Chains A and B, each alone.
Chain A
């Protein structure tokens, strides 16, 4: 199982180590540093690195490498999933997961890691249970603790850990009972230079924020459940019921959680909410290139496309760009050749455009690479797959909860090739 964990920051310092079995010397990380040196970008460090006696399995999140050391045959995904869970927990506890935050809360970090793994076996990874064991630091509690000398370690056996619904603590009480669901879809698209779609798929999630008293039993049904043929559920969802009736039936965890994530594959017809017209040309023998980019909405069901941001890695030969945006602002970094254009909203009556010239090194030949445009945007009140919640019912409790559902579509990896 997992032997040790090293946290390494962007500059290559090990700033935290934790051993669940015997101590593994930190020199084992040298193999990691070697791989890091070889990688051109920080994210290119391979996730599994063999060393003579150990294996290093790492994830990179928030510019921190979480490097786990294992010695025997352990499923790498198990380790990777666990490391991501560690990061999520830190984020949950400290708001952000940065080197500073971890150092500020080193004792809590240690207590958490100790509770999460025992001898390399995962022990408690559910945020609900952890919070009962170790209370998250808040300014108020830290102050109280300093004055009264009490601790942020729970005194009681976490009740949820052993019940049949380990994800929910018992005895939850709220004065305002509310259940909110956010349907968030990210659309991943590759569009080729002629404007036709190569792949388009949707990664959707339903995140919930449920604050309900007691042990509510919820059912959530959809207008068009057949869209959901590739789904991953939170453990609370009763799978049998879904198989039979296509209804989500569950006793929710308390607080924020991800109820469901789903995938709408490229085999379904996926609507593409924006289009891009581009024209980037370099003439042989000239040190100038023309740049012309126009964005427009398409298949948005009348909703506004907002927070639009276009970025692109221009060819290495481009020295500078002199462009003129019809709206928003653009920047071009002559060192990294990164062009980014903050567009804002797209007004269908007056399409945003970015036009101008790029200057090349004099006498250099025409660049080989074709830049790819990466587009980010948001559309509120719409799930691009067309998924719609039909109704939400609650059983098992008497009160009437307040219910709300929100939809949003975002660009995931939305790429336009030129």
Chain B
């Protein structure tokens, strides 16, 4: 129950009068309000600023400092006020929480100071209202990142006992950790540069020899270039293997983008080594050399900016895709138009629509190579329309895309954050809701346990159990109890309900007992007739009170086993079965398919059993003599 509406509990309880005439059973006793104090004003002195509020306002949240007896520690006898040596500005929002039920986060407050205040006053930050929650979480995250950054800087100093592998990995990831790492970093960078330059220079035509035409340098100085290539590839291979060895998770490392780039960079060389000078595959071999240019991507490890760019492109992929799509549409439209416009002219370069694509792209991007020009009037007209629209279609979105990048990038992050927060918050709300429902079920069990211990246990045990539920909670639970009585059903939690469903599905024989016991009229079981119709009967032992076997914790559910047998069961067998079946709680004991299991939860509290039957907890249903169905309680 949201304690924000605690003031309406009297109304809800009064409205319960609507259930009374339709209920068939007596209602449980209402909890009494022993402390009938008049509502009084409380003065809270926070560092000199006095706040005043009603006592009942503070009592709304009994698990906070101000709502519980903890505030008595701060009571000042002389001035008859509660003095807190804390920040009065932050206290304003805390007191407003009691008044309105919503906790707000003031934006001008420092996040850590605010957190401290909340912790001091025993308020969990999760209940910050929707209006301020996002801001609070953002600030908290930033603060956390700042703390983490500080921590990382300190962390680099220490770390005495890392094994060799971890040292290596750290050296690879962060070159500033040691001089070796720095040397390694620069060496690899140097060799990447050498490799790229080699690839480039290989194709430059060197001076021609006397008898041949211009050859590319690669073919002239084959051996030199081959040695250079080999050296680079060896360095890269060694580096890759070292990284693989040092990686904390080899599988994850092998899947990462950087390692794929590494592999792609060195693979063509090895493939080239393996392949012989077979004429057929040498064409393919040449194309493989193209992949050597990917070595330049290895620079991403050396450049933070490249990594950010790559990530940004990845996250804006959908926008770029859409832009490409719309461009493609425009290109197709104009290419078609140009093709049909130029169809008439002779020696037209616009031989087909795909051929016109080239013209359209060149015109729209305002490149204008001039290798294809329209000759007809219509072609020229459409060509000019094409170039004008190209200016609009292409030149305008470029700055929009740039701004979209940053906007969409941040927006994406915020949307993901909100979505993640939403899930967490819905889970929170669900937990709070189920918490209040669970609180009722828990208090029911505690009530039962209390009763049980009153008779069998000692005083200390009972006191240990009696949780200090506030008056509000006990009144709310009483209200829910009345509803249970009116409808003659009980609240259970989800797991128990599912177990019950399972059990009813498993029953092979109807559990309806033909004859109701003579003890039906006992007022002990409320709405006895109705209940008996729906639930299996207890064991057919005589109604003499027998105490619960001590090994059965009263809080556990009992599974009851129906044994359809012709002979009247004896007390002893049921008893022995009680002890026997302790272990097979889950198993269905199918003795010739005649036994089914059912689970009964703890029934109505023994407060309703005025007869001093010591039968607490299970099973309270009166046994029926002469019935064929025997229920044996087992765990």
Q: Do A and B come from one complex?
A: no
* A interface residue numbers (CB < 8 A to B): none
Residues of B within 8 A of A (CB): none
